[in-house]
A and B are shown apart, each in its own frame.
Chain A
């Protein structure tokens, strides 16, 4: 018969989340933290309060997403005239001007990725809470993708910083960044922390409990 494969936790081991070294999980005095003997990072069998923290950050992200889309992110002024653009109106303007290629890029970075990220994290959280039978390997893959793509949402913010610095021709042409950009930047940072605080091992823990 095939030997049952153990997880580190089942074998009473802890792996360091930074350097990967394995340690025997021995109890320590109350109030003292277990530290990795190699790199000094705090050792946890699972990320602490992973579900609660991820929920809190996902909800913060959803709330911040409202001002990020309601407030304008930048204003382009040409010959003294200009209207402030929100994320969505900026993308629509790009399509109307025939700039399809960058319209699509900005849509993916500023709308699709943040929304997808929040939706996927909510689904992953629910799947752990309610022990869904969704294939854990697929879930791990989805999690890893969401974790990798998050930073690309900063694209719009970086672009605004470049335009604001470059386009300063006074009456002729001027780009001013607006408050919505700060809210959107906060969405990106908060959702990045959200995906970092989710522990994909929880997906597999629950799976094991079923067997």
Chain B
């Protein structure tokens, strides 16, 4: 199939836009509907790789330590990210439990792991199998990762409980906040176009 590297079709309106040759930190928008066509990032691979490694570390901490502690007259309970999933399951809401598990744990974790695999192999210049497939899956899964929504849910839950009991924060919550900042930065520094080109070249 013939390639058209100087042209890019707008994802929202299908208009063909002519793009300039690649330059760092270049943002281009569709001339008809204004949607983002692509935005290049400086030093994308190094920066994103560093963030992904840090993100995975904080992910483990956020998963292993309690997020919140609750105290009412002597009695105390704590929760971790996974306990919500397990309890929904035990209360009989299996579908809800699965949704929460996928959106707050599995998808965010797999997304980070996929980026680590791709970026590390690009950085070290080794050709490992399945990278194009993995990056495609990354795009398919992207919308289903909802760490930011979960963060807001934690805040809302805390406010809601203030009336009933004493709520205090756990180590897991601090790690979780750092994780949110890291994963937002990682998606901001990831240069999709660059990665696709590099993966295609080295195939």
Contact = CB atoms under 8 A, between A and B. Distances in A.
Contacts of A37: 1
Nearest to B138: A18
Nearest to A153: B149
Interface string A19-49: 1111110100000000001111100000000
Contacts of A123: none
Nearest to B133: A40
A40 B32 contact: no
Given A6-B16, A154-B103, A177-B93, A164 B87 contact: yes
Interface in A123-179: 136-137, 140-141, 143-144, 151-152, 154-155, 157-170, 172-173, 176-177, 179
B16 A19 contact: no
Nearest to B8: A20
A52 interface: no
B156 interface: yes
Given A102-B160, A172-B75, A189-B99, A18 B139 contact: yes
A43 to B, nearest CB: 10
A185 B154 contact: no
Contacts of A70: none
Contacts of B16: 5-8, 11, 13
Given A39-B132, A99-B160, A165 B149 contact: no
Given A39-B135, A140-B33, A5 B12 contact: no
Interface string B14-25: 111000000000
B133 A200 contact: no
B43 interface: no
A22 B11 CA distance: 11
B96 A20 contact: no
A204 B15 contact: yes
A144 B83 CA distance: 34
A59 interface: no
Q: Kindly state the interface size class of chain B when it binds its partner.
A: 35 or more
B44 interface: no
A157 B33 CA distance: 35
B136 interface: yes
A182 interface: yes
Interface of A: 5-9, 11, 13, 15, 17-24, 26, 37-41, 78, 94, 97, 99, 101-102, 105-106, 136-137, 140-141, 143-144, 151-152, 154-155, 157-170, 172-173, 176-177, 179, 181-182, 185-186, 189, 192, 196, 200-201, 203-205
Given A13-B7, A160-B88, 9 more contacts: A8-B16, A19-B135, A137-B32, A164-B84, A165-B80, A166-B78, A167-B77, A177-B93, A182-B95
23 contacts: A9-B14, A18-B136, A18-B139, A18-B140, A20-B11, A20-B38, A21-B196, A38-B200, A102-B159, A155-B152, A158-B150, A158-B153, A159-B157, A161-B96, A162-B153, A166-B83, A167-B161, A167-B164, A172-B75, A177-B96, A181-B93, A182-B93, A200-B12
